[in-house]
Amino acid sequence: MHTVVVGTSGVTASDVLAVARGGARIELSGEAVAALAAARGIVDALAAKPEPVYGVSTGFGALATRHIGQELRAQLQRNIVRSHAAGLGPRVEREVVRALMFLRLKTVCSGHTGVRPEVAQTMADVLNAGITPVVHEYGSLGCSGDLAPLSHCALTLMGEGEAEGPDGVVRGAGELLAEAGIKPVELKEKEGLALLNGTDGMLGMLVMALADLDMLYKSADVTAALSLEALLGTDKVLAPELHAIRPHPGQGASAANMLAVLKGSELTGHHQDDAPRVQDAYSVRCAPQVAGAGRDTIAHARLVAERELASAVDNPVVLHDGRVESNGNFHGAPVAYVLDFLAIAVADLASIAERRTDRLLDKNRSHGLPPFLADDAGVDSGLMIAQYTQAALVSEMKRLAVPASADSIPSSAMQEDHVSMGWSAARKLRTAVDNLSRVVAIELYAATRAVQLREGLTPAPASQAVIEAVRAAGVEGPGPDRFLAPDLAAADAFVRDGQVVAAVETVTGPLR
């Protein structure tokens, strides 16, 4: 099994994916263990002094003015975890919780939190044992970090609350730890606070969304090319020299992908046939510009994610010169903004894909295709309601594109009077990404049927490879009406699993 070694300098996106989705094992580096011990020594020294230090010998948030005696500090750390584990709503997905815990461990191992090495090791042990704390949908304002979700994870480390075992059954955390031979932690000064104060949930969801969108944007380039082909459009608008004079890198990459898919097609460039036209509609002609702008947004979001993956997010932080200082690095604004930016880009990509699908089904705009791509229009409805489903998905995505990060609800008796709502931005982006896969799948379903209905004209080799692969996956081609939902679900699985891109790349080589 793949092993991820956590050091003091952060982790990579591939590390997060390996742990969250691939079940990779985790080890702490010797450097990390030494840094943990050194930072803990600083905290212990401050804890022994009579002067109050925030997070070490005081209360938290609006209660930070109270000095806490040594006899109550262990109780203080337990209490912050118990009281902050206040989430409600549906359970969060296993991969999100694993990413959340792993990224908190990343910050702990930086040597800036003051957590003992044994606590960090317990975090790794819980992940390695396949134990997943029950975390709920609601409870995070994205400042101070993802407090409630992280508290539910910390509760598991204490042997309290509920968690999912490696068998997928939810049981008491203490029972699961005992079965795995893991001793619950007894938190000391600052440790409860350090386990809760981070952007780890929203960051984990950002990293996974970026991985999914990398594949979905390539898939959308393919389906846009198939729609262009089915509509007898021109591929001249994809010429590299046209995109070079507007040098947005994402636009150039999308145009290059579409051009590669269409190479060798007999369907493109029929603008002067029976239905002459000077230009294709915007949804066809401007596909690279819209998809390209989304790609460039993804590139910016990836830069933000990389910076956050290299960060130590906690409050207060332990500095190497021995100071323990309060700060605002837990504020989720940098991550929240790009999560919202991505939701906007994803909604627009879905919107333009739906417009192409609608054009394929409209006999007045499809340049000779049968109404709704039906076998016997009137007797058969064809893909009429498939487009309804696609439109409903797009409408939902437009609502999800309303930014969460533009909102702020003050909390903690106005001490935390401006919050990022980054967790909410991440949760809605996950829904938007799921819906994008479904929207692209419906365009794929319509476009492959339409290409096959162009009898007498041979599609591009790459297009043919997609058609053959999707048919082999159980998605049926043209014919009389049938129960459509299973076909659409199979098309969605085909897109979601990356099979669209894989089929094309057997002909084109790697897409950009």
164, 132 in Cβ contact below 8 A?
Answer: yes
> Nearest 5 degrees, angle CA 119-CA 68-CA 149?
45
268, 234 in Cβ contact below 8 A?
Answer: yes
132 has which bridge partners?
164
The one catalytic residue in 54, 282, 388, 445 is 54
Report strand pairing: 88-91 vs 136-138: antiparallel
Q: Is 54 a catalytic residue?
A: yes
Encoded tokens for 327: 């700060």
Q: What does the alpha-carbon distance between residue 512 and residue 354 come to, in Å, rounded to a whole number? A: 23
Helix runs in 383-484, H state only: 384-400, 422-453, 461-472
What is the maximum alpha-carbon separation in the chain? 90
Q: What does the alpha-carbon distance between residue 79 and residue 169 come to, in Å, rounded to a whole number? A: 27
473, 444 in Cβ contact below 8 A?
Answer: no
- In eight-state DSSP terms, residue 372 is G
Give the closest residue to 308 by CA, choosing from 509, 77, 16, 31.
16
Please name the residues in contact with 242: beta carbons below 8 A apart, sequence gap of 6 or more.
Answer: 255
Using CB atoms within 10 Å of the CB of residue 509, give its burial: 0 to 12 exposed, 13 to 18 middle, 19+ buried.
exposed
Catalytic residue IDs:
54
